[in-house]
Structure 1
């Protein structure tokens, strides 16, 4: 399995590898992988979901992780979000990191180092969207399309449901734009 997200990566010596190599976009299920050794490159959302699916399907699954990362269960993440209504971020991170240690132990023994900054402070740091995104990580505007033409999915504060609505809006808006571009109407591939 090569590269959990983005575009395929050139890996020196890969042409001599006798096994199957595929991009995450080609992955469908763990059917036929039981008992086979599989390496997932990358620990983004796609890589982690594929690795979990493979492990649950009986594959001997390993993941290559390039940088530090936080590993949280859904329960711990949800608890942290709930605590966000009552506690400052630094305190939430302390509670969340303690719970993660109790659940996963010292992940650095397995080559999975945690960032120095906690997961909620890290998320808060990433959310500095200036004029578009507020300090709470929520879009300051109603539409998932900014004036500069960028789209923002999943920042509406409505969870998975909101992300789905954003994705539908974005797909519809792009489709509408393609239909109004001269030469692009009706799927004309010549332009």
Structure 2
């Protein structure tokens, strides 16, 4: 799934393999979903995955306390729901077990440890050529399922290489247990930054969370109902901006004025902002109460410089820290391995076409899981792609 260093096998002659259905790059939820939908349409597929398991982001690069932020019904993949015994908000392990059940149900068997070094369209044959460390696969269709979160995003911060303490991205963070009694700088205040800060509190660490920009914080539930579920229901009856105003009013009543805590809200409402930029509101899971009590310190503004012992901030403050955790998110790695992508992808590796048409590329190229709309967007992409390729497949078979 994507690009990383090769091994000695890159020196061996490559085998050429003709794939009758699509080649799917990535065995995360997106790759599994589109493979299942293709199978439902009678189309075989081949999944290439760089790691040794499905959903490697979930299994290998997430922290232990992670739970789904949305109720399970909004996180189901197409054609196969969660087991009824699962809780409303499944844990990381429960979600992984669901994906394993999903793959087993549809007999999806990815080829693991296949690193895609390059994929390009061959004009002469009209096929996509996908090169791994030991094989070249040829197919009429290529489905990019590496997603928005293929690689950890590490921001450029002056002096970051000088820091003598422990520096880690959230993709390498597992538990606050190893940070007990430490002063920890958490850079980022999204859902990951908030949850990591909360986890640090619960393991007797002293987190200082950097709030670099404005952010919406909403309660995970309102009046006993999921905030997301309530928003989706209200949008069926009321204009988006009316729903946004309602959510902010209830958030104010439940959480109070976050501006007083050093966390300013954007001027644009949470749903409107999400649709326009993909920036997800934070769904509070008790981190805000720890901020109010002073157990999580909010550092407003931008880190100006990392020093040997800590950090300097734009407002002139300088503090010492034992560890720094970068809750700075992820990025697409598509430009590193997909060639001639300019027609479909922008420089940041995201589709040029806006949702809901972002799944459709050129010359048999498709993308799934790049909608910035979570697993609901993934499901929509998978269904559309399978329908399109299924129609083409049946026409080919009829000739």
**Residue 360 (structure 2) pairs with residue 146 (structure 1):** yes
**Deviation of 1:107 (Å):** 1.3
Gapped runs of 5+ residues in structure 1? Answer: 134-138, 168-191
Q: What does residue 106 of structure 1 align with?
A: 257
- Aligned partners of 1:9, 1:150: CA distance in 2, in Å? 29
Task: Indicate if the aligned counterparts of 1:132 and 1:146 stay in contact, CA closer than 8 A.
Answer: no
Deviation at 1:41, TM superposition (A): 0.4
Residue 122 of structure 1 deviates from its aligned partner by 1.6
12-21 or 70-79: bigger deviation:
12-21
Name the CA shift for 1:55/1:163 in 2 (closer, same or farther; >3 Å). farther
Distance 1:120 1:10, change over 3 A: closer
**Superposed displacement of residue 34, structure 1:** 3.2
Would the alpha carbon gap of residues 99 and 53 (structure 1) be closer, same or farther in structure 2, given more than 3 Å must change? Answer: same
Equivalents in 1 of 2:209, 2:276: separation in Å? 26
Mapped contact 1:156–1:163 kept (Cα < 8 A): no
**Contact 2:259–2:265 under 8 Å retained in 1:** yes
Question: Does the 8 A contact of 1:38 with 1:59 survive in 2?
Answer: yes
Residue 88 of structure 1, aligned match among 239, 258, 272 = 239
Q: Is 1:97 the counterpart of 2:311 in the alignment?
A: no
Which position in structure 2 is the counterpart of 1:47? 193
Q: Distance in 1 between matches of 2:381 and 2:199?
A: 26
The C-alpha deviation readout for 1:89-111, integer Å capped at 9, x for no partner, is 11111111111112222211222
Q: Which residue of 1 aligns with 2:172?
A: 26
Asked if the contact 2:152/2:171 (under 8 Å) is kept, the reply is no
The offset of 1:20, in angstroms, is 1.6
Q: Does 1:117 align with 2:331?
A: no
1:147/1:7 Cα in 2 relative to 1: closer, same or farther (>3 Å)?
same
Task: Tell me by how many angstroms 1:88 deviates.
Answer: 1.2
CA distance in 1, matches of 2:254, 2:237: 23
Higher radius of gyration, 1 or 2: 2
Aligned residue-pair number:
153
- TM-score after normalising by structure 2: 0.33
1:33-77 CA distance string (max 9 Å, x none): 233222110123433332333234333222112111101122143
What TM-score do you get using the length of structure 1 for normalisation?
A: 0.62
Are residues 166 and 20 of structure 1, via their aligned partners in 2, closer, same or farther at CA, if it must alter by over 3 Å?
farther
- Counterpart of 1:62 (choices 182, 186, 208) is 208
Secondary structure of the residue aligned to 1:32 is: helix
Residues in 2 aligned to 1:87 and 1:101: alpha-carbon distance in whole angstroms? 20
Say which is worse superposed, 22-31 or 55-64, in terms of deviation.
Answer: 55-64
Residue segments in structure 2 that go unaligned for 5+ positions in a row: 1-150, 279-350, 383-399
**What corresponds to 1:176 in structure 2?**
none
1:70–1:119 Cα contact (<8 Å) kept: yes
Q: Tell me the SS of whatever aligns to 2:207.
A: strand
- Asked if the contact 2:360–2:366 (Cα under 8 Å) also holds between the matched residues in 1, the reply is yes
